[in-house]
Amino acid sequence: MGICHGKPIETQQSQRETNNPSEFPSDHPTPTKPPKASSKFPFYSPSPLPNWFKNSPSSNSNPSSVSSTPLRIFKRPFPPPSPAKHIRALLARRHGSVKPNEAAIPEGSECEVGLDKSFGFAKQFSAHYELSDEVGRGHFGYTCSAKGKKGAFKGVDVAVKVIPKAKMTTAIAIEDVRREVKILRALTGHKNLVQFYEAYEDDANVYIVMELCKGGELLDRILSRGGKYSEEDARVVMIQILSVVAFCHLQGVVHRDLKPENFLFTSKDDNSSLKAIDFGLSDYVKPDERLNDIVGSAYYVAPEVLHRSYGTEADMWSIGVIAYILLCGSRPFWARTESGIFRAVLKADPSFDEAPWPSLSVDAKDFVKRLLNKDYRKRLTAAQALSHPWLVNHHDDMRIPLDMIIHKLVKAYICSSSLRKSALRALAKTLTVAQLTYLRDQYTLLGPNKSGLISMQNFKTAVLRSSTDASKDSRVLEYVSMVSSIQYRKLDFEEFCAAAISVHQLEGMETWEQHARRAYELFEKEGNRPIMIEELASELGLSPSVPVHVVLQDWIRHSDGKLSFLGFVRLLHGVSARAFQKA
């Protein structure tokens, strides 16, 4: 349950939620090769990760970046610590399982002395339920089947997650349990999320009573099918996973441990529905904030988690790994050690050349590739993934949910210069039918008036319609209230498309160059004009300390003083003054 394990699958099974021995087909390490930039395209925006997080504990390319190495004493710096060891130490410290000779300086209130292990949950668990066989075991607790003895659940078979209080030896571990119950209680009701019933406690344990899913893990179902699914069956699984994850993300909850072991089928039937379980590592995240604690499972952890700055996009990476496994039966990133797995996650590209990938549809491959983009800015959101051509015509009974990224993009658009707004309007005119369908769905969810216009207040009311207590705890409602308070004119669908475009996501597509070239042609006709460097600097909000004639000289054509193609592409990205100062 959340421990980062990278040992071969036989060893890994002892830490899973069940005790069923099983293993994937043998894999081979993924070759490491750097991402390639198109030589035909003049502007390439690499992932920010290698440059933004030079002091990351997971980076082993720069020994001097390890701040704990006493360089002034030793002639040669020690090699940087293994990211696997770093994560193991962090998890051990988080849950109080550090051995005496491995103790580290506590972070915050991590001493067991004086810890309050009273949660305020109901008492007398044994009077209401009778525990039966153990059905799963994780790193910090175990799950049993049980039967209700009285009350609303009398005679009902349930699952009970038992978490011993003796293992709650840190304030963080206690807060994890408190938050898990709070999130389950707030989110319960979604058809693809395990239903929460009640929480109890006594002096020894916390008991979380939930729906009993009798169909087994998704991992076991994959293995029973010979290690992989057909495209059609994989679609059914992915739609259910994306549906519940989109719901969680809209409420400001990131799961942080998505993997096949954490999805259960309700029954043994082939058409049984799938349920997400184990929110023990889940957390709240506000749309404009980042998390920094390293949690998860090695094979499914996103690169930015290792760099300790991530949001809901980390869950989408994990879903990409699950999709890769479903379709081909092997892991996209594999090594014999935990450190090797993390190096592969950070540096290697998954292979799409070996069987069965050449025989799979172009849409299936594109779907997986767009989830496994190492640059989290270019990754699909859950709502966008449901709108992807590979899935869009296969879930007629489910509406695409509201996407919180729309609020972030519209806010950025409103705060942009008039010149950037013109550039984005030109780019919006190059969107495909599939991309416009997603935007039309989002526009409809915002509730346009009879004239087909939406106001900023619509962004708040749309979220309120599907909000839960989790959206308050995650401060999502606080964020959307801030967005809705911005003074701006009502948007028609055309301007909404310009405002809701993610340039980074478009850049992650193979068709990005065509989009950009076509948009520049339109911009030349409708929005481009002669502009002085000083005026452009003012449009971009650059400070007087930035040497504008140096950094902006390639933005403007010398022939007529208009914005060049390079300047147009950089303008689309909304380059900040801070980025210029770094340059």
Verify whether residue 363 is a known catalytic residue: no
- State the pairing for strand pair 129-137/205-211: unpaired
Q: Cα(416)–Cα(422) distance, rounded to whole angstroms?
A: 10
- Asked if 378 and 504 count as a contact pair (C-beta separation under 8 A), the reply is yes
Q: Cα(545)–Cα(173) distance, rounded to whole angstroms?
A: 47
State the amino acid at position 540 in one-letter form: L
Structure tokens belonging to residue 62: 């720069």
- The interaxial angle of helices 533-540 and 418-428, nearest 10 deg, is 80
Structure tokens belonging to residue 542: 């650059």
Q: Cα(78)–Cα(71) distance, rounded to whole angstroms?
A: 9
Q: Cα(192)–Cα(509) distance, rounded to whole angstroms?
A: 30
The residues facing 157 across adjacent strands are 147
Residues 6+ apart with CB under 8 A from 59: 50, 53, 65, 80, 307, 346
Is 460 annotated for ligand binding?
A: no
DSSP label at residue 328: H
Residue in 63, 60, 109 with CA at minimum distance from that of residue 85: 60
- Asked if 249 and 286 count as a contact pair (C-beta separation under 8 A), the reply is no
DSSP 3-state assignment of 305? helix
Secondary structure in 3-state letters for 103-160: CCCCCCCCCCCCCCCCCCCECCHHHHEEEEEEEEECCCCEEEEEEECCHHHECCEEEE
Residue in 262, 300, 299 with CA at minimum distance from that of residue 280: 262
Task: Give the active site residue among 133, 157, 176, 257.
Answer: 257
Q: Cα dihedral sign for 237, 407, 175, 290?
A: positive
- Asked if 46 and 35 count as a contact pair (C-beta separation under 8 A), the reply is yes
**Could you tell me which residues are annotated as the binding site?**
161
Q: Which residues are catalytic?
A: 257
**Could you tell me which residues are annotated as the binding site for ATP?**
161
